[in-house]
Amino acid sequence: MAIIMSDKPAGGTGRPHVQVLVDRCAGCQECVIRCPVGALDMDSGRWVVLADDERCVGCRQCVRTCPFSAIEVTGPALAGARATTEVVHPEPLFADVQEIRRGLGSWEEVLAEAQRCLSCPDPTCMRGCPAHNDIPGFIAAIAERDLAKAHEVLRRTSVLPDVCSRVCNQAAQCEGACTWSLAGETPVAIGQLERFVADTCAVPPPEPAADADLSVGVVGAGPGGIGAAWALVEGGASVTVYERDPAPGGLLGWGIPDFTLPDAVASRPWRQLQEAGVELRCGVEIDAAGLEHLLSSHDAVVVATGASVPVRLPIPGADLEGVTDATNFLKTARAALEAGDGVPAWRAAMGLDALGGSARVPHVLVLGAGNTAMDVARTARRLGLGATCVDWLDERFSLARPDELAEARDEGVVVRFSRTVTRVEGDGQRVRRALLAPTRQERADRLPAVLHGEVADTLDVDLVVMAMGYRVDPAVAGVLPGTPVRREARGLADRQWTASGVLANRASAFAYHNPVGKLALGREVGLQAASLPVRERLWVVGDALVGPATVVEAMAQGRRAAGALLAARPKRPGREESGRSRRALVCYASEGGRTAQVARTVGEELMDKGLSVRVLPIERVGPAELAAADLLVVGSWVKGLVVARVGPPPAVRTWLDELPRLGGVPVAVFCTFGVDPRSTLADMAAALERRGARVVATSALRRGGNKVAAVAFARRILAGVRELSAAAAESVGAR
């Protein structure tokens, strides 16, 4: 039976009560250092946790972080009431695109909400934020009424606080990961506090640094391009951005309606970037050949093209007039609404006035019920059209945000789940009706089944808009090796993540029960991939890297890629080196210490030749360490007997198999052996080449071999790197 220890009796106090199961407590202090209110301490005599109910607020952070399930908390959570904001639907709705979600209206409301933040020592909200904003830091600045300081905190990680506070799905990110949300309570209104900062005090512009003698081309002017260009110009780079549309912003410019994201907010980043010296070239589309040209005219290129190809449902009748996609609909509708009296002309251009004299309201069928579909349907209502959305998913498992779904229904949009369109029919060449079949979905991880035997509904329609999302242009993806990257974390989570408690609970009902920890870990994969080039001098961010994602993810990845690029300072062939030392990472797996000694000797020789060197065991080498290396040296001992399989040990094989894309980095491989290494070197080299590395030298050294062999290997590495650089310069000269 567990022994329970507490200084206070349970029940009857109206406060939370902490119970410590003493026979489980190991005295690790994980809970003590993470308690945000100092309610836990250590009994130094027995080395177990002591709890003070008078200080406890019931956030249950200790319960989530205890690795031995030694703490239980009962009673209420003292979260306090969350500030509420207003959603205003204009009457009449026609042609009215004013922003409908209102922010916090007064300092009194803002300060009361800021006081709800516990300033957790290990903030789970920061892990839930794709940009890792210092949320307790900027909220603390708000509490001090210092909005300039709040901006100073936010700009360390974000350049779009005004945009992200409006368009982020905070329920699946920062607010879902708030310690109150993980405790089943209402989270701090982080998005509203961020918006108050950005709306009350202007977002500071970029601060260009001195010329870094670095020329960078950025392809795409959406959120990923904004994040990259901002960080690059602040790092002193000369930045040219190429955008195929006539105006910058990408999805921010044409894909999110003004009633959600006003144009003044969406266009702010590019006004500031151009004033800071970023050159913007709109109306320029970069294809595969154009990308090669950019690499020859810039020191590095960041591709941030987004996912621009609309997904279309392959059904009979999809080629009829009146069947279009979300991109075309949103772009043309936006222009019509901005024109003031442009709606009649838009309706005529879309064929919606040719209804045979009928007085009925034209009706739009929108395929999908996600963010894009809601934007299409709600825009249609502002154009004076009826709108129905259909989605084959069960509403319980749909991708629709409950808040957006409620807003759409309040504006008269009909949303029908568990339905799919099987065909559209027309009179002549024009669409007139759609056939809808029911679907059934039993679980979130299973696709719905279409019930073809059931009676199908028929819906009279005048326009069909396919709004089921976007995919990356295959022509672009074809020249970006290793993309798209799956945002799925593999293996056991890092101890820092598990100890934080963010993986222990789903978000609260208020935050739609999102698996916020799992989602956040997946986003980390994308961030890490953004820091590594997919080819030499070529980085990829945003949807082009991971497939359709979010505004904040693209912006954060753009900043991450820019940081890695500025640290690498690449030079296109033919340009003189900047004088920065080449960064070498020597990593090894060592059983008895002899492989480690070879690694150190190689590292010392490379350092003597002017390189900046780190020597690490492979278990300490992850994406961050790889991103900071211009040269990688990998060493392993050889496992096996003469009559058994010979090769690198399983840990090395696993490490090689799980490497991210290495983007053309020069690599050298060595092994130490006591028996014939056979194909060990070849196997390791092949594994690295599959990840995009270029092997410049290999060496097998007998265990206990002399220092001379290791030094000779280091010199062969340098010679191989020089040959590689010379070949690249010659190739550019030939072109």
User: What per-residue confidence (pLDDT) applies to 641?
Assistant: 65
pLDDT at 471 over 90: no
> Among 42-46, 79-83, 324-328, 607-611, which stretch is predicted with the lowest mean pLDDT?
42-46
Place of tokens 């797996």: 589
Binning pLDDT at 50, 70 and 90, where does residue 578 land? low
Say yes or no: 602 and 665 in one domain: yes
Number of domains in the chain: 4
Place of tokens 């239980």: 72
Instruction: Give the Cα-Cα-Cα angle 68, 72, 77 (nearest 5 degrees).
Output: 135
Please report whether residue 293 resides in a domain. Answer: no
Q: How many CB atoms lie within 10 A of CB 213?
A: 15
What would the mean pLDDT of 60-66 be, rounded to a whole number?
96
pLDDT over 70 for what percent of the chain? 95
3-state DSSP of 392-453: CCCHHHCCCCHHHHHHHHHCCCEEEECEEEEEEEEECCEEEEEEEEEEECCCCCCCCEECCC
> Quick one: which of 667, 677, 666 has its CA closest to 701?
677
Helix, strand, coil fractions of the chain, as percent rounded to 5: 35, 20, 45
Say yes or no: 30 and 150 in one domain: no
Please report whether residue 565 resides in a domain. Answer: no
Please report whether residue 357 resides in a domain. Answer: yes
d(C-alpha 320, C-alpha 324), whole Å: 9
Say yes or no: 123 and 50 in one domain: no
User: What per-residue confidence (pLDDT) applies to 576?
Assistant: 66
**CATH number of 634's domain:** 3.40.50.360
Q: Where are the beta strands (DSSP E) in 453-569?
A: 457-460, 463-466, 470-471, 538-540
User: What per-residue confidence (pLDDT) applies to 474?
Assistant: 84
User: What per-residue confidence (pLDDT) applies to 176?
Assistant: 97
Please report whether residue 251 resides in a domain. Answer: no
Q: Are 239 and 229 in contact (CB under 8 A)?
A: yes
Cα-flanking dihedrals φ and ψ of residue 335, to 5°?
-60, -40
**CATH number of 410's domain:** 3.50.50.60
Binning pLDDT at 50, 70 and 90, where does residue 473 land? confident
pLDDT at 438 over 90: yes
Instruction: Give the Cα-Cα-Cα angle 666, 652, 484 (nearest 5 degrees).
Output: 60
Say yes or no: 20 and 153 in one domain: no
> Quick one: which of 256, 274, 275, 143 has its CA closest to 196?
143
Binning pLDDT at 50, 70 and 90, where does residue 48 land? very high
- Which of 74, 103, 129 is the last residue in one of the domains? 74
User: What per-residue confidence (pLDDT) applies to 704?
Assistant: 67
Please report whether residue 305 resides in a domain. Answer: no
pLDDT at 11 over 50: no
User: What per-residue confidence (pLDDT) applies to 734?
Assistant: 52
Please report whether residue 300 resides in a domain. Answer: no
What would the mean pLDDT of 270-290 be, rounded to a whole number?
95
User: What per-residue confidence (pLDDT) applies to 25?
Assistant: 94
Q: DSSP 3-state assignment of 94? A: coil
Q: Are 189 and 83 in contact (CB under 8 A)?
A: yes
What would the mean pLDDT of 546-561 be, rounded to a whole number?
96
- Residue 323: which H helix or E strand, with range? strand 323-325
- Which of 44, 74, 104 is the last residue in one of the domains? 74
Say yes or no: 401 and 425 in one domain: yes
pLDDT over 90 for what percent of the chain? 79
Say yes or no: 501 and 377 in one domain: no
Pairing of strands 323-325, 40-43: unpaired
- Taking the alpha carbons at both ends of the chain, their separation in whole angstroms is 78
Higher pLDDT, 139 or 6: 139
pLDDT at 224 over 60: yes
Angstrom distances, CA of residue 489 to CA of 389, 523, 658: 33, 8, 11
Please give the full DSSP string across 611-627, using - where no structure is assigned: -EEEEEEGGG--HHHHH
pLDDT at 8 over 70: no
H helices of 12-60, in order, are 30-34
d(C-alpha 322, C-alpha 332), whole Å: 14
**CATH number of 42's domain:** 3.30.70.20
Please report whether residue 70 resides in a domain. Answer: yes
What would the mean pLDDT of 529-550 be, rounded to a whole number?
95
Identify which of 190-199, 444-453, 618-627 has the greatest average pLDDT.
Answer: 190-199
pLDDT at 644 over 80: no
Binning pLDDT at 50, 70 and 90, where does residue 646 land? confident
Over the stretch 497-526, which tens digit does the pLDDT of each residue have?
999 999 999 999 999 999 999 999 999 999
Say yes or no: 107 and 42 in one domain: no
> Among 202-216, 229-243, 634-648, which stretch is predicted with the lowest mean pLDDT?
634-648
Say yes or no: 138 and 170 in one domain: yes
Mean pLDDT of the chain: 92
Over the stretch 359-395, which tens digit does the pLDDT of each residue have?
678 999 999 999 999 999 999 999 999 999 999 999 9
Higher pLDDT, 558 or 47: 558
d(C-alpha 397, C-alpha 391), whole Å: 11
Q: Are 610 and 714 in contact (CB under 8 A)?
A: no
> Quick one: which of 653, 613, 658 has its CA closest to 636?
653
pLDDT at 1 over 50: no
Say yes or no: 364 and 450 in one domain: yes
Say yes or no: 172 and 114 in one domain: yes
Cis peptide before 481, with omega less than 30 degrees from 0? Answer: no
pLDDT at 3 over 60: no
Tokens, residue 27: 């005295």
User: What per-residue confidence (pLDDT) applies to 581?
Assistant: 82
User: What per-residue confidence (pLDDT) applies to 735?
Assistant: 53
> Quick one: which of 511, 510, 556, 551 has its CA closest to 531?
556
Binning pLDDT at 50, 70 and 90, where does residue 27 land? very high
404: left (phi over 0), alpha (psi -120 to 50) or beta: alpha
Tokens, residue 122: 């290990």
**CATH number of 189's domain:** 1.10.1060.10
Q: Which domain holds residue 24?
A: 4-74
Q: Are 282 and 246 in contact (CB under 8 A)?
A: yes
> Quick one: which of 572, 472, 484, 477 has its CA closest to 522?
484
Say yes or no: 627 and 489 in one domain: no
Binning pLDDT at 50, 70 and 90, where does residue 189 land? very high
Say yes or no: 41 and 139 in one domain: no
Please report whether residue 696 resides in a domain. Answer: yes
